Every structure is written in structure tokens, then in C-alpha cells.
Amino acid sequence: MADPTSTADPVALEVDEAETDTASDTDSFASTEGSSTSSITSSILKYRQENGRTYHAYKDGQYVVPNDEQEQDRLDLQHHLFLLTFNDKLYLSPAGREGRQLHNVLDVGTGTGIWAMDFADEHPSASVIGIDLSPIQSPFVPPNLSFQVDDIEEPWTFHVRFDFIYSRMMTASIADWPGFFAKAYENLNPGGWIELADIYPITSDDGTLTKDSATHEWVTKLLDGTKMIGRPFDGANKYKEQLEAQGFQNVQQVVFKWPQNTWPRDKKHKELGKHHSLLQYPRVANELTVGRCLESRKHQLRP
């Protein structure tokens, strides 16, 4: 049996010296690693407006990242980055491969729905459900795909069990990951699969991400802020042990490297860094920490 924790890029990345003139102390990398349902009503479409951005109205405040056009563009670019990382594969698990039949599939936190649409096209015999707190998905979808405004942290009320549950970039979105894994386990068919693709705090190959760097200070404050609201963004570090504790078997963890910009010499990692640098994680995260997390602190301090 393969080592359940493996690194897709085991060799330390080398710096492309030609890129060092434009590099900064952000030259490090991040690692990557189902409820009540509502019909779309006018109240759900009345998004909260805050600091020039809009946020979901259903369960207002539960998800801390915006849902406006700017964020939707970022999510679609992020989808492309995952395709580059996974060599044009939508997912890595054996689900639906080698003769395994997929009947019902759940995409948790579907966002713009781009992954669900691609998956539904790729598996036309499967019925795919994408759920999100924001109804921002395209109405033009494959016939085997439907979207629901749904809160995955509420009791699940689906009328089917799933053969595959997929979750991507949901860190800092779910407060109770063991509870989520318990619901997923209960709602999977025997032999079904769950796959999660997520990030955790920035690290570095060579120790250059020092504690006195601005990047380390930023990521530390971001982690502190998300802990303050009970949704820390370092949860991916515990997914494997939490899945195994729930009873999932053959849990595999594969770590990929996402450079922050184009500093690596390796061609593929340079391309990943180019796209990763466009995702504006610092800007989104700063809005998250300064806006929502500090607002939470203000509420906590009220007598």
C-alpha cells in the first residue's frame, strides 16, 4: 500500500535567478491538499453590501468571502489553477474510474459552479448537485446538473445517497469539520468516495519564510482572525486524521506546491506561480480578516 501521505513535488524547488529582481518576501508557496435547502427568493438575492463588495444574504455572515463579479472571476481562475495542478483532471480519487459507476454526486460549496459543470459534462450518466449559500451559478448547465441554495452545516435532507462528494477550497468556511465528515459518511453509498482539495498556511522549502518577514506576520494574523470567528483556515492539516476517525478507509493525502509567483526555475511551477499570483489571496484575506473577523471581535467585546 502506498504511503498515505505523499508529496506530488518531493524535490525542493530551485529559484530562477532571472526572476529574483521582481521577487519579494512572498516568495514562498501555499500547499494544496453537504442540509436545509431554499428556493431563490428576493431576500436571498438581496446581497449584503460592504466596503464596495457584496456578500451572500442567506445565512448572512456565515461565509466570509464576497460573492460579486470580481470574486466570481477569481474563482474561475482558481479552477484553472487546479486543472494545471492536477494535469487537467477534475479530481484525483478513483471515483467513477476503472468501471466504478457514479449515480449521484455532490459538490460542496460549488461557487460559480464551474467544477460541477465540467464534471457533469464529463459524467453525463451521473446526477450532480452543486450547493452554495450564494445563487451565483450560470442558468445554462448540463441537463444532469442542478444547483441549490444550501447550508451544508445544517442537517442534510437529500433524498439520495451519494457515490462521490467533492469539496474544494472550503477551509475557513466550515466550523465543525468532524461534523461535516460525519454527515458525509452517513450520506455516502458503500464504496463511495469523498475528496477534498484545500490549502493551508504558507510554508517554504528552504526556510526563507522567517518569523520576522511581513508574509509570516500577515499569515499569522490571518490565522488568528479566522480562529476568532471559529473557522480557522488551517483546518486542512487535520482532514486526514478526522476522516480516519470518522471511519473512512484508504485515506490518501497528496501535497502539491503552489508558488506565490514566478520565481521557480521549473517550467510547470513557474506557470503555477504565474496563475497563483493573479488570485489576489492577500487582498481577499485582508478583507476577510479586517472586515468580518474584527467585526466578530467587536461583538465579543460588547457588554
Q: How confident is the model at residue 76 (pLDDT cuts 50, 70, 90)?
A: very high
Whether 11 is covered by a domain: the verdict is yes
Whether 81 is covered by a domain: the verdict is yes
- The end-to-end CA distance of the chain, in Å, is 56
| Per-residue pLDDT, 84 | 96
Q: Range of 108's domain?
A: 5-209+237-279
Show Cβ contacts of residue 246 under 8 Å, excluding neighbours closer than 6 positions.
178, 181, 182, 185
Name the residue with cell 494535469.
87
Higher pLDDT, 33 or 281: 281
Q: Tell me what the mean pLDDT of segment 201-213 comes to.
A: 88
Q: Are 45 and 291 in contact (CB under 8 A)?
A: no
| Per-residue pLDDT, 24 | 45
Q: How confident is the model at residue 19 (pLDDT cuts 50, 70, 90)?
A: low
Whether 97 is covered by a domain: the verdict is yes
Higher pLDDT, 21 or 176: 176
Whether 118 is covered by a domain: the verdict is yes
| Per-residue pLDDT, 230 | 87
Q: Residue 108 is part of a domain; what is its CATH number?
A: 3.40.50.150
Whether 300 is covered by a domain: the verdict is no
Whether 16 is covered by a domain: the verdict is yes
Higher pLDDT, 41 or 195: 195
Q: Tell me what the mean pLDDT of segment 23-27 comes to.
A: 43
Show Cβ contacts of residue 102 under 8 Å, excluding neighbours closer than 6 positions.
95, 96, 123, 125, 126, 163, 164
Residue type, 112: T
Q: Which cell is 168 given?
A: 474544494
Q: Are 89 and 96 in contact (CB under 8 A)?
A: no
Whether 293 is covered by a domain: the verdict is no
The closest alpha carbon to 204, from 18, 31, 53, belongs to 31
Q: Please write the tens of the pLDDT for every residue from 90-103.
A: 999 999 998 889 99
Number of separate domains in the chain:
1
Higher pLDDT, 144 or 20: 144
Q: Please write the tens of the pLDDT for every residue from 62-72.
A: 777 888 898 89
Q: Tell me what the mean pLDDT of segment 77-91 comes to.
A: 96
Whether 134 is covered by a domain: the verdict is yes
Q: Is the pLDDT of residue 124 over 50?
A: yes
Q: Is the pLDDT of residue 37 over 50?
A: yes
